[in-house]
Amino acid sequence: MKILIKNGRLIDPAVQTDRIADLHIADGRIIAQDQAPDGFSPDQVLDASGLHVIPGLIDLSARLREPGQEYKGTIASETRAAAAAGITTLCMPPDTDPIIDTPAVAEQIIRQAHDAGFARVIPLGALTLGLAGEQLAEMALLRDQGQCGAISNACQPINSAHVMRSAMEYAASCRMTVFLHADVPDLSHRGVVHEGVVSTRLGLRGIPEAAETVSVARELMLIEQTGVRAHFCHLSSAHSVRLIARAIADGLPISMGVTAHHLHLTEMDIGFFDSQCHILPPLRTQRDRDGLRQGLANGEIAIISSDHQPHDADAKLAPFGETEPGISGLETLLPLSLRMVDDGLLSLPALLAKLTCEPARILGRSDIGSLQPGSRADICLYDPEQPWTVDPSRFVSQGHNTPFAGWELKGRVTHTLLDGRQVFGPQP
């Protein structure tokens, strides 16, 4: 299949390209920009006049609910939602049922995603067997046979510093990046909101900032000792960002990310027990939100993810403390991120880098996250000026749980290509 995308504003943050150009695609790869290769005759022409043409988005944290919770979502339903959102690659945490601690589970997920055909799914292998924090998983097998792109214990704690150190040493020997969720259970203690004025006013169990920062401090010391590459996922406090930024400046091989919703919401958005704002890590203060935004603007925070967690309707209908945490975030990832440009925090190419080439770099993938010739033809076309109102009932995702219902956003995906195949948009 040969495709010509013409007259679009081509933005490739990987090489700092931003210009009007044509893109030529054949055999699932980008083969040229501007001038067509000799003998190139497209089977399909996409007129991208007025549209932005960018690499397909890469989301480093998205729960697809299958296997184990298919009533909340399936690999097919959620990758279809990803395609509608311009996302072509998703990393799937290992807390499925069964857990991704054997190559067979990872292979099954990859096969089902391939069969669905909407997006590429990269499983994250488990750091410890059963995510129990006791025995190390077979990381080398998960990498070689399960094709796992990184290692994680999802949101399950590893309380033993000895086990965490051993896990980091093993991951370093396998040259695998460890994805870390910063939390000290003894401090978070089954809390549901940030510990502060809102938790006190509503009478809800709070999670102190220290639950995150104490964990960050421990992991930084162990990373320094073991030399493992590590990525801190979905941080929520400004103090954590400062700690990690200092370690990055000292030369530690680490990166950090934030969710799109933590860049916009604070504990005040919980209002009077709005369960759509039940999120872990919790929404924190305006000072924390501003600190996350500043870390994004100055380049300390490398990536933005959706931390997609689709739920059935009943999961959000109980009293706040008994509801399940999480947001269906795939379809708002791009437009919420683009608001950072409208707010003057950073340029459009710099913002798009945090959704494309930077996640690719963390995964060690040079074949995605770019529009350069030779790269996989994973491409997103979107209309930067089209306004739309968030209506959860119209989500492609099986999960309609979002605190952004009624928000007016700009930036609507019109076409998505995966390996040179159109997986979203009007068919020719």
- What positions carry a catalytic annotation? 307
| C-alpha–C-alpha distance, residues 281 and 325, integer Å | 9
| C-alpha–C-alpha distance, residues 166 and 276, integer Å | 38
| C-alpha–C-alpha distance, residues 365 and 149, integer Å | 9
Query: Cα dihedral sign for 99, 103, 106, 112?
Result: negative
Tokens 């097919």, residue located? 76
Yes or no: say if 169 and 141 are a contact pair by the CB < 8 Å rule. no
SS3 label, residue 218:
helix
On the 0-12 / 13-18 / 19+ scale of CB atoms within 10 A, 378 is buried
- Point out which residues pair with 412 in neighbouring strands: 383
Q: Determine which helix (DSSP H) or strand (DSSP E) holds 103, and give its type and residue range.
A: helix 103-116
- Measured CA to CA in angstroms, residue 139 lies from 177, 233, 304 at distances of 11, 20, 26
Q: Token pair for residue 273?
A: 């027990």
SS3 label, residue 317:
coil
**Alpha helices per DSSP H over 194-347:** 197-202, 210-226, 238-249, 286-297, 333-342
- Point out which residues pair with 128 in neighbouring strands: 136
Yes or no: say if 361 and 289 are a contact pair by the CB < 8 Å rule. no
Yes or no: say if 389 and 378 are a contact pair by the CB < 8 Å rule. no
Query: Cα dihedral sign for 31, 381, 55, 111?
Result: negative
Indicate the angle between helix axes 238-249 and 286-297, nearest 10 degrees: 30
| C-alpha–C-alpha distance, residues 216 and 93, integer Å | 19
